[in-house]
Structure 1
Amino acid sequence: MPVWGSARRWEGSKRTRSRTAATDAPAPGWSPAAAGQRSRAAWSVRPLPPPGRAPHRQPTRAASIAERPRRVHCGSAARSERADQGDPMATYVLVHGAYQGGWIWKPVAERLRAAGHRVLAPTLDGCAERHDQVRPGITVATHGQEIAKLLFYEDLDRVMLVGTSSGGMVICKAAELARERIARLFFVDALALMSGERVGDIVKRAAPNDTSSITTGPTRADAEKRLFADLDPDTRAWALARYTPHPVAALEAPVELAGFWSQAWPTTVVRCRRAVNPPEAHQRRTAERLKGDWHELDTGHYPMLSQPEQLTRLLLAPVSGPGFLTGASPRCTVPGEA
């Protein structure tokens, strides 16, 4: 039989168990490690209290842990509890763009989690690790529905919804479908089309595409030399290994938005100066229509890979103070920002 503590402590515990008619079987959840952590006072023999008086209980470590404030994720009651505790934790949903997957957000997601926030970076239908599911009928609308369903089934509230590249179109549709769950929209070098517009109306390029009946995208050589050109060699190789064509209808079908642009949305627009697409005029239209905050980063189209620290600071700005719970949105300054 293993021995924990001194002989005096063991004998004292036997006498205590005898007085209380307890069995020698350990209680549920009991372990030698936990027993070894108890204080000497908790194991010492105490006289039984006089009749009519409640026994004295020494506070235990388990009790102190149980009394700590719980960190919760969503719902109006949760927001109130967070406000009372001064807990600024937010929920970020990061939506990737064309030829990408949730993988592209990895450097930013790690930083947001390290700051204490909840982060989801889903891969959209037909993309990246879900590329073997690609089929006709995948559109911006179905991708938007997918994100709206994610917010519902994960019971997410006060969501910081972030979209990059063509993911900007997706977050517009998702926000329209899940209005009450959105705290703020972030367009990171992103497209935000009006209802009826097509990507081809905004993005003009002469680069060759590999297009089939269900997917489209730049050739792998073009992706390496143009899309990922500003990344360091190791990051470029890592991204290129994960590059996949995009569902064609999600880039060629006209966007359908019934009421997105007629509503007010707290918004941040981040333009990447070294990227040709989306054009600056298009991104400024987004900021002006939504009365959003405007920021610029001196990098290419993939700031989550080339400047993850700077981009993370921009995403954290609205939750860096009490404004997250009140609806205010403080600005922040990033090195290299205009």
Structure 2
Amino acid sequence: MSTYVLVPGFWLGAWAWEKVVPPLCEAGHDVHPVTLTGLGDRAHLAGPRVNLETHIQDIVNTVVFADLHDVILVGHSGAGAPVTGAADRIPERVARVVYLDSGPLADGMTQLDANEPEWNAFIEKRVAEQGDGVGYPLISWEEQERAGASLEGLGEAERGWFASRATAQPYGALTQPLTLKGGADKLPKTLIACSFPLERVHAMIAAGHPFFAALAGPEWSFDAVPTGHWPMFSKPAETAAALAALAS
């Protein structure tokens, strides 16, 4: 049996893992899906003081207060940053960090640093006009595709479920730089690619791309669940199987 802590990406709460958790539990694993502050059933806690450090502490507290050890810590999409930060804070409790169609940020980077300036301008405008300056509301399907988030596998039912429960992403989580001390540098790490082929990942690593160069270390392994950017909706059984394959 292994212990999993599942952290969803932008706009999502623990509810997003509803179809991934049962197969993991049926296989005998202990599973803890997380809702970060200001999202999902914790949307009432949103506000200008919620930032990346808040989300890192959410994950740390989930692990510490449940007294979890040897955790397989999973971050989907935009959760890559808080998961990286949490692993850095409590590496002694983490067995492996998993990036599900995601990746780690480097020390000093913000979520916005991974975007083109034009897209950041779009985000800033949406936050100002529709998020009261503190939230980044769910964008349209067309805008998601323009941002590079593949919608493959999301039919009408999946899109309806997603949109009906999505909540605005706290903007402070995008703008605050990640602070790392190297605590998780040597932890085993796995990238599970979904919306981009592994061949492309390895090519970017070989080319020394700034967002992929860190994945060249011996602590990294790779797997794939070919689908869109939201595998917990489009291929939940396959996503659960890929996570279960990482069990100790």
1:128 maps to: 40
- Compared CA separation, residues 219 and 302, structure 1 to 2 (3 A): closer
Match of 1:106 among 12, 18, 35: 18
- CA deviations 1:115-139 (Å, max 9, x no partner) are 1111110200001121121011222
Q: Which residue of 121, 124, 133 corresponds with 1:213?
A: 133
> What percent identity do the matched residue pairs reach?
29
The answer for the alignment partner of 2:114 in structure 1 is 202
Q: Secondary structure at the match of 1:157?
A: coil
The answer to whether structure 1 residue 288 and structure 2 residue 210 are counterparts is no
Residue by residue, what CA displacement relative to the aligned partner does 1:157-182 show, whole Å, maximum 9, x if unpaired?
11111001111111111111111111
What is the match of residue 235 of structure 1? 158
TM-score, with structure 2 as normaliser: 0.82
8 Å Cα contact 2:101-2:195 kept in structure 1: no
Q: Give the number of aligned pairs.
A: 228
Matches within 5 A, 1:168-317: 168-204=80-116, 206=119, 208-209=122-123, 210-211=126-127, 212-220=132-140, 222=142, 229-230=151-152, 231-260=154-183, 263-274=185-196, 284-289=212-217, 291-317=219-245
Counterpart Cα distance in 1 of 2:229 and 2:186: 27
Write the mapping of 1:80-95 to structure 2, written as runs, cut at 5 A: 89-95=1-7
The alpha-carbon distance between structure 1 residues 309 and 284, as it changes in their structure 2 partners (threshold 3 A), is farther
Q: Where has structure 1 moved over 4 Å in runs of 4 or more? A: 220-228, 279-283
The one-letter code matched in structure 1 to 2:190 is: T
In structure 2, the CA distance between the partners of 1:225 and 1:240, relative to structure 1 (3 Å rule), is farther
Q: Give how far 1:268 is off.
A: 0.9
Secondary structure of residue in 1 paired with 2:75: strand
Check whether the contact 2:103–2:191 (CA below 8 A) recurs between aligned residues. Answer: no
The alpha-carbon distance between structure 1 residues 206 and 179, as it changes in their structure 2 partners (threshold 3 A), is closer
Partner of 1:332: none
Residue type of the alignment partner of 1:265: L
Helix, strand or coil: the match of 1:309?
A: helix
SS of equivalent residue, structure 2 residue 190: strand
Q: Larger RCO: Structure 1 or Structure 2 (Cα < 8 Å, ≥ 6 residues apart)?
A: 2
Greater mean alpha carbon deviation, residues 113-122 or residues 304-313:
304-313
State how far apart, in whole Å, the 2-side matches of 1:145 and 1:175 are.
11
The answer on whether the counterparts of 2:77 and 2:102 sit within 8 Å (CA) in structure 1 is yes
Structure with higher Rg: it is 1
CA RMSD after TM alignment = 2.4
Code of the residue aligned with 1:303 in structure 2: it is: P
Give the C-alpha shift of residue 225 in structure 1. Answer: 6.7
- 1:49-88 → structure 2 map (5 Å cutoff): none
Partner SS state of residue 88, structure 2? helix
Q: Quick one: distance in 2 between partners of 1:92 and 1:202? A: 27
* C-alpha contact (below 8 Å) 2:51/2:173 kept by paired residues: yes
- How far apart are 1:217 and its partner, in Å? 3.6
CA contact (8 A) 1:168 1:192 kept: yes
Residues 129 and 223 of structure 1, relative CA distance in 2, 3 Å threshold:
farther
